[in-house]
Amino acid sequence: MALVLNEEQQFLKDAASKFFQDNAPIAHFREIRDSNNELGYDHELWKKMAELGWAGILVSEEYGGSDFGMMGMGTILEEAGKTLTPSPLFATGLIGASLLELGGSEEQKSEYLPKLVKGTLTTAFALEEGTRHAPANIETEAKKEGDDFILNGRKTFVLDGHSASLLIVAARTGGSTTDSSGISLFCVDPTSEGVEVIKMNMLDSRNAAEIYFSNVKISANNLLGELNNGFGIVEEVINRAQIGISAEMLGNASQAFQITLSYLKERKQFGVLIGSFQALKHRAAVMYSELELTKSSVVGAMNAIDEQSNDVTRFASMAKYKAGETAYLVSNESVQMHGGYGVTDEYDIGFFMKRARVAEQIFGNTDYHLDRYATLSEY
């Protein structure tokens, strides 16, 4: 398994880096946050990203995508993480595209994927119901009624849930609350009667929502995948999502490290650059080493998806655990090395700490993934 990018992947990474630096620097993130943008991202920027083909990175060519693979999506998410770029790329380009590709019927793929590739359709995956990641712990219920289903329940921490034009909802159609069997997926129009979407104000300004379903009528044609057998798709997509958010966290931590290195080379105490202090050199060396380990973990996990490894779940947990641990370390150290400046809104470094804290919780925190990795490795 190669742990370096090939020529095409490196070209994409360089193009993404330039795009985000030119079109979505940290100042762009500040502007979206401070303007109380209801959408939560710049629609024109998302349109440009879609025109570059990034929304269709994981979509088959027959539906207008490039099928470039997880390495392609991961490198873009890593670069987006460096500038904290708000966009639907993760929720739509990765999660939504994967759900539709893996579970959609031919009719559903033909209806939704071309629009997704063009950037005119955005999606949100309504899965979580509690404060901790527990993908099989689903109480939201879809009861069969004639040719339709009636959906009732509540979903929380739905990424981009307030702005999505299509919701993909995991609901229980059989089994008990914690069973992995009896879970089905449904495509739901967020404007349907009985759907209430409430935007959440996240610590890091990431877009999320709580969604309530009250007697929402869903046509059987909107069932995504097989009835009662949706959890296999959920697991596969969650693995991809965990790896994708790990790539974003790697970008986040890498940029925080670079900002801190620059600060160490500029800030003086008692007439001496603080970067010359031995203790700070040691701490910077530890951060660099951990970032390199994280990079290998994330690239290895992305390759596992593209190579259809039988060990994807273990790779996903390894990447998510290591990325969460490193992002926590680097963001903490970065703020501390900036001293009092680090906790002020005028300096960018605090944004990276906030993003690290929220991203670490998405689809399982470090404790969850350390335990899952140990279990899968039969420790």
| pLDDT at residue 2, rounded to an integer | 64
| pLDDT at residue 125, rounded to an integer | 98
Distance between CA atoms of residues 106 and 120, nearest Å: 20
Distance between CA atoms of residues 354 and 372, nearest Å: 25
Residue-wise pLDDT tens for the chain (379 aa)? 666 788 999 999 999 999 999 999 999 999 999 998 889 999 999 999 999 999 999 999 999 999 999 999 999 999 999 999 999 999 999 999 999 999 999 999 999 999 999 999 999 999 999 999 999 999 999 999 998 999 999 999 999 999 999 999 999 999 988 899 999 999 999 999 999 999 998 999 999 999 999 999 999 999 999 999 999 999 999 999 999 999 999 999 999 999 999 999 999 888 899 899 999 999 999 999 999 999 999 999 999 999 999 999 999 999 999 999 999 999 999 999 999 889 899 999 999 999 999 999 999 999 999 999 999 999 8
CATH numeric code, 7-121: 1.10.540.10
Please report, as a single letter, which amino acid is at residue 171. A
What residues does each domain of the chain span?
A: 7-121, 125-229, 232-376
Per residue in 125-134, is it b (16+ CB within 10 Å) or e — as a string? Answer: bbbbbeeebe
- SS3 readout for the chain: CCCCCCHHHHHHHHHHHHHHHHHCCHHHHHHHHHCCCCCCCCHHHHHHHHHCCHHHCCCCHHHCCCCCCHHHHHHHHHHHHHHCCCCCHHHHHHHHHHHHHHHCCHHHHHHHHHHHHHCCCCEEEECCCCCCCCCCCCCCEEEEECCEEEEEEEEEEEECCCCCCEEEEEEECCCCCCCCCCEEEEEECCCCCCEEEEEEECCCCCEEEEEEEEEEEEEHHHEECCCCECHHHHHHHHHHHHHHHHHHHHHHHHHHHHHHHHHHCCCEECCEEHHHCHHHHHHHHHHHHHHHHHHHHHHHHHHHHHCCCCCHHHHHHHHHHHHHHHHHHHHHHHHHHHHHHHHCCCCCHHHHHHHHHHHCCCCCCHHHHHHHHHHHCCC
Contact by Cβ (8 Å): 329, 288: no
Q: Which of 240, 227, 265, 255 has its CA nearest to residue 317?
A: 240
Domain 232-376: CATH superfamily is Butyryl-CoA Dehydrogenase, subunit A, domain 3 (1.20.140.10)
Distance between CA atoms of residues 352 and 335, nearest Å: 9
Distance between CA atoms of residues 329 and 325, nearest Å: 6
Distance between CA atoms of residues 254 and 17, nearest Å: 13
Please report, as a single letter, which amino acid is at residue 370. L
Distance between CA atoms of residues 376 and 368, nearest Å: 12
Classify domain 125-229 at the CATH topology level.
Butyryl-CoA Dehydrogenase, subunit A; domain 2 (2.40.110)
- Token look-up 């990276």 returns 352
Distance between CA atoms of residues 308 and 322, nearest Å: 21
Q: Which of 112, 124, 122, 194 has its CA nearest to residue 161?
A: 124
> Who's near 279: CB < 8 A, 6+ residues apart?
none
